Amino acid sequence: MIQYVIDGGRPLIGTVLTGGSKNALLPILAATILYGGPCEIHRAPHLSDVENLLETLRYLGAKTHFCGDVITVDTTSLNRYDLPAEYTGRCRASISFLAPLLLRFGRCSVAYPGGCAIGARPINYHLEALRALGNFRITENGCGVEVQGTFTGGSYSMPYPSVGATECALMAACFSPMPCRIEGGALEPEVEDLAGFLNACGGRISFVKGIWQSEPAPFYLHDQTLRYTVIPDRIEAGTFALAIAATRGEGRILGCNPAQMQGVIRLLRATGAEVVSGQDVLLVRGRNRRLRGCDLVMAYPYPAFPTDLQAPACAFLSTCYGKSAVLDTVFPMRYAHVSELGKMGARIALAKAPGGEPYISILGGQLRGGRGESTDLRAGAALLIAGLCGKGRSVVTDRGFVARGYEAICEKFRGLGGRIWENRIY
């Protein structure tokens, strides 16, 4: 258990450097199985989710090494195709191993994945993609799924642009003996980054007129080292942008890709914050500005506002005068942070739209120090932002959620002038 102790009420001012994308790196680590030889993944962040997947790879028989921001993985000696709950229960991204294991062994047994409790995240789309792109016998039980068969190619029209299912489909299509088409798939930059890695492995994946396509490519194990650099973490960069604006500070966020952050940039500008973007830098100014609320912020699949920034956005909007409303269409039950933000002075509550959909109603004002508990990764980030804004001392209790997605977050906030410390209580 970790406690974040924050003395808030000071603007964040300065420069912060963001790292590589967690959400891009995790499926790429699973996809190293498809290369079957040594891989060097650069710009890798030190996160507990990353460590969990590396431990999973070692359980499967791979060799791994993590030094600086470079991960080396060699899956030449892979010798297992089963993933028990001991490994999958730690991280939702463990489902990414499904298609790679099937390609290597023709069968796999994977326990249902865990991760943050942010609402239902079934794997039915993953299994539908396998059925559409191969000839498989799929057996589900109360603990997980067993799959056996071969990829044949084909077409799959996704009923919803699920990121995980799209990534599963791309890995399934990568070395199929016949062409594959995936319609209605996710467009997130992290999905595009996975496609880039798969092509570096020898795949022939392209995105044409809104459709993911894959041409037949031979699968074989490699002996030469593949080197690949993951994209910047747009969620980490967005979190710092919201925190700087929320504290009415001024800061430069380096190492990001503003072109992939248009959802959060639009929100910040709509409230009256100044945002200037460059090639790999974002300048955010909230200082000496009376920021106003937004009528409706809706979290949708990319390129709209991301669900992973919904909770941090609630903390930010709680500091903007006037009313705001936030609706998450991706995870409509991802609202556990509402009551916790209320403990820190936020005038925030759950409400219902005329159609019955739950949404968050916010009346902006001054936050204060308080005690809260992070219920998931992004809720933890929201509470840290609220603590940095609120006058007085805040204590945020966290069961390791924040470390799953933010590397050295206290050090980075302190580099901006934030007064925040991390204590391990057991």
Q: Nearest 5 degrees, angle CA 301-CA 353-CA 364? A: 80
| Cβ neighbours of residue 71 closer than 8 Å, sequence gap 6 or more | 25, 29, 40, 41, 44, 50, 54, 64, 65
In one-letter notation, the amino acid at residue 97 is F
Of 3.30.43.10, 3.30.710.10, 3.30.930.10, 3.65.10.10, which CATH number belongs to 22-229? 3.65.10.10
Domain ranges of the chain: 2-19+232-424, 22-229
Which pLDDT score is estimated for 286? 97
The two three-digit tokens of residue 119, written as one number:
């609402």
pLDDT digits (tens, 9 = 90+) for 158-169: 999 999 999 999
Running along the chain, 426 residues long, what does each successive block of 10 average in pLDDT? 96 98 98 95 97 96 97 96 90 91 94 59 86 93 90 94 95 94 97 98 95 93 94 98 98 98 98 97 96 95 96 98 96 91 96 90 96 95 98 95 96 98 86
Cα distance from N-terminal residue to C-terminal residue, the chain: 6
* Distance set, CA 179 to CA 54, 66, 324 (Å): 32, 36, 47
DSSP β-bridge partners for residue 205 = 214
Which pLDDT score is estimated for 199? 97
Rg (CA), the chain: 22
Number of neighbouring beta carbons within 10 Å of residue 316: 33
Which pLDDT score is estimated for 114? 67
Q: Which is nearest to 408 in space by CA: 146, 116, 46? A: 46
pLDDT digits (tens, 9 = 90+) for 344-383: 999 999 999 888 889 999 999 999 999 999 999 999 999 9
Which pLDDT score is estimated for 121? 46
Which pLDDT score is estimated for 142? 78
The two three-digit tokens of residue 46, written as one number:
């030190």
Query: Which numeric CATH code is attached to 2-19+232-424?
Result: 3.65.10.10
Same fold, 2-19+232-424 and 22-229: yes
- Cα–Cα distance measured from residue 103 to residue 142, given in angstroms and rounded to the nearest whole number: 24
Task: Supply the residues annotated as catalytic.
Answer: 116
pTM for this one? Answer: 0.95
Task: Name the E strands within 223-308.
Answer: 226-229, 250-254, 274-277, 281-285, 297-299
Bin 386: left if φ > 0, else alpha if -120 < ψ < 50, else beta.
Answer: alpha
Q: What three-state secondary structure class fits 155?
A: strand
Q: What three-state secondary structure class fits 214?
A: strand
